[in-house]
Structure 1
Amino acid sequence: MDFGFLFSHFAELTITGLALGAIYALVALGYTMVYGVLQLINFAHSEVFMYGTFATAWVAVFVHGTTSVSQGLGGTLGLLGLCAIVAMVTSAAVALLVERLAYRPLIRRGSPKLVILISSIGASFSLAEIMGLRDKFAGWFGLQDNLESYVAQARNVYSSPVTVDPHKVFEFAGYGVTDIDLLVIGAALGMMFALDVIVRRTRLGRGIRSVAQDPEAAALMGVNSTSVIRTTFLIGGLMAGAAATLYMLRIGTTRQDAGFLIGVKAFTAAVMGGIGNLRGALIGGLLLGVMENWGSAVFGTQWKDVVTFVLLVLILLVRPTGILGESLGKARA
């Protein structure tokens, strides 16, 4: 154990951990929204995120080509905005597809929750394999040459050609906080604050909360539960797409199974904060990101994931409902 490294790099580990945790929190919102309404885990949400990462990379290839370029954040903001829009639309479309094909038919038939969970797991594997076979699909339609930049080496790491160089904005406790750190944390906090306001203060939010709290009573009051469920998946997909763009900004690479580990971490964050609670997803994500970095500094990077799940077990032993146990259905306007 190396506590000296932790103390000497405390500010750096904390700030970068918050940036990573903000991405976890955005993805966790999809898990917590669906669970709050349906009392089910959407295991395909990790692939919803993964498709957003590829959308981000493909927009960069479409705009800049495959030639690698490196530039500052200021010169990339326009491209990042375009990437974010396309990624959010793509992830939202995939999320709606999952809802339409893997959830809605089974919910209408009154299928057991276990069957629906298995369906979501099948959707997760299917989406990952479709991305891994994109070169085959392009070949079947005779488009492999035209889409070479997008389908080559379908199961290998796919890199964005645009790299954003971080620049120090100010210094905090010996660490130069960068513009990328501020953008990732600020964007994530802003989107989560906006979503919290929508859920707590708008008519749409009241519909979501009513279905989460008592779907039968909500139906009697004229709330269309199918529409609410569809909107919930849509919102989760939008947040996952935004997280995908921020992830590519920091990491810069993705692959067809990139969503798996991020999805597990985001689910852990949702459970840690109190699954079904929006603010809990935020707190759980930020806490998880920071604790991962601190644990890596003390025990080594090979123990990073172990620290994550040990922390989850400890919190659930003390508070099984998570840090914030209030459910989405009990959120007050």
Structure 2
Amino acid sequence: MDFTTFMQHLANGISLGSLYALIAIGYTMVYGILKLINFAHGDIFMMASYFAFFAVATFHLPWYFAFIIAIALTGLLGVTIEFAAYKPLRSAPKLSILISAIGVSFLLENLAVVLFGGRPKAFPTPKIFTNVVNIGGVSVQNLTFIIPIVTLIFLFGLLYLVNNTNVGMAMRAVAKDVDTARLMGINVNRIISFTFAIGSMLAAVGAMMWSLKYPQIVALMGMIPGMKCFIAAVIGGIGDIKGAVIGGFILGIGEIMLVAFCPSLTGYRDAFAFILLIVILLFKPTGIMGKNLTEKV
């Protein structure tokens, strides 16, 4: 493999890793606050793609306005799911909440099939994203540059929010100890709803980028990306925002390089994520950035 080909694959790997990172942040935020794996996250990602698709294809809105509306609707969807499916079970055993999350996932998938049909739909892609730039013999779409930039902007914005604002301080307090945070006068319900809104909106941004990169949407499109982004969050250390981003880049670049160096293993590309998960759980169960915590009795 020559240098130009390697850089081509590296650019694609960074782009894919940025997508995984953006979606994985939503997983890790919800887990950090509630210690809940929101298995409906991938399906929220799927719904965001449909919101954007219909805003452009049916209502003929400009793509940038359609994306803003889709992100807002997805945040509202996340808050609604938290209110209807998770809030009533907040004092229930963790297993009950987990089962509820799986139920919400199945509900969204089947609801999408009923409402939107089972046939794939072509996502409208503006030319600004598909134009190709040639740099030193490496040909990449504008979107390949845009995705990592968008991911880093949202990462730094989220880190600022968590570490330098009153809301972020409240989020960290709730993540540390819900009961103590409530005694300190923090509106725990509002903070949890805010966290779900932010996580869902990040999933929506990831969905916009994903649909532009792979412009075909279908009701079950959130399953594999959802699982992979969960794996990325675990690899980086679930509950840690920077860890989720690191895990996303490791997974994305690893997948692309696996196919680049071993073309015969192309059919096992998805299996790479699960093998990597097993290795991480065997040798560092808390993930790269994770900390060893003592479980409360």
Q: Secondary structure at the match of 1:155?
A: coil
Let me know the Cα RMSD of the aligned residues: 1.9
Answer yes or no: is the 8 Å Cα contact 2:125–2:212 preserved in 1: no
2:251 to 274, 288, 294: 288
* 2:82 matches 1:82: no
2:98 to 117, 134, 138: 117
Q: What does residue 11 of structure 2 align with? A: 15
2:109 is aligned with what amino acid?
A
1:322 to 284, 287, 293: 287
Q: Secondary structure at the match of 1:322?
A: coil
CA–CA distance in 1 between the matches of 2:246 and 2:240? 10
1:59 is aligned with what amino acid?
A
* 2:164 matches 1:201: yes
CA–CA distance in 2 between the matches of 1:116 and 1:8? 49
1:315 is aligned with what amino acid?
I
Answer yes or no: is the 8 Å Cα contact 2:259–2:266 preserved in 1: yes
1:128 is aligned with what amino acid?
E
CA–CA distance in 1 between the matches of 2:21 and 2:125? 25
Q: What does residue 295 of structure 2 align with? A: none
CA–CA distance in 2 between the matches of 1:315 and 1:171? 36
* 2:95 matches 1:99: no
Q: Return the offset for 1:284.
A: 0.7
1:43 is aligned with what amino acid?
F
* CA deviation map 1:263-300 (0-9, x unaligned): 00110110011000000111111111110111122143
Q: Return the offset for 1:183.
A: 0.9
Answer yes or no: is the 8 Å Cα contact 2:44–2:74 preserved in 1: yes
Q: What does residue 211 of structure 1 align with? A: 174
Q: Residues 313 and 194 of structure 1: is their aligned pair in 2 closer, same or farther, counting only changes over 3 Å?
A: same
Q: Residues 257 and 117 of structure 1: is their aligned pair in 2 closer, same or farther, counting only changes over 3 Å?
A: same
* 2:219 matches 1:264: no
Q: Return the offset for 1:325.
A: 1.0
**TM-score normalised by length of structure 2:** 0.92
Answer yes or no: is the 8 Å Cα contact 1:56–1:248 preserved in 2: no
How many correspondences in the alignment? 289
The 5 A counterparts of 1:184-263 are: 184-263=147-226
Q: Secondary structure at the match of 1:133?
A: helix
The runs of at least 4 aligned residues of structure 1 exceeding 4 Å deviation read none
Structure 1 vs Structure 2: percent identity of aligned residues?
36
1:92 is aligned with what amino acid?
G
Q: Return the offset for 1:48.
A: 0.7
CA–CA distance in 2 between the matches of 1:48 and 1:249? 17
2:266 to 295, 301, 307: 301
Q: Secondary structure at the match of 1:282?
A: helix
Q: Return the offset for 1:318.
A: 2.5
* 2:25 matches 1:60: no
CA–CA distance in 1 between the matches of 2:73 and 2:207? 11
Q: What stretches of structure 1 of length at least 5 have no aligned partner?
A: 65-77, 135-150, 328-333
* 2:240 matches 1:277: yes
Q: Return the offset for 1:257.
A: 0.8
Q: What does residue 169 of structure 1 align with? A: 133
Comparing 269-278 and 315-324, the one that deviates more: 315-324
CA–CA distance in 1 between the matches of 2:121 and 2:275? 32
CA–CA distance in 2 between the matches of 1:86 and 1:311? 36
CA–CA distance in 2 between the matches of 1:80 and 1:188? 19
* CA deviation map 1:39-60 (0-9, x unaligned): 1101111111001111121122
Answer yes or no: is the 8 Å Cα contact 1:199–1:205 preserved in 2: yes
* CA deviation map 1:64-113 (0-9, x unaligned): 5xxxxxxxxxxxxx934223212211211211111011100111xx2111
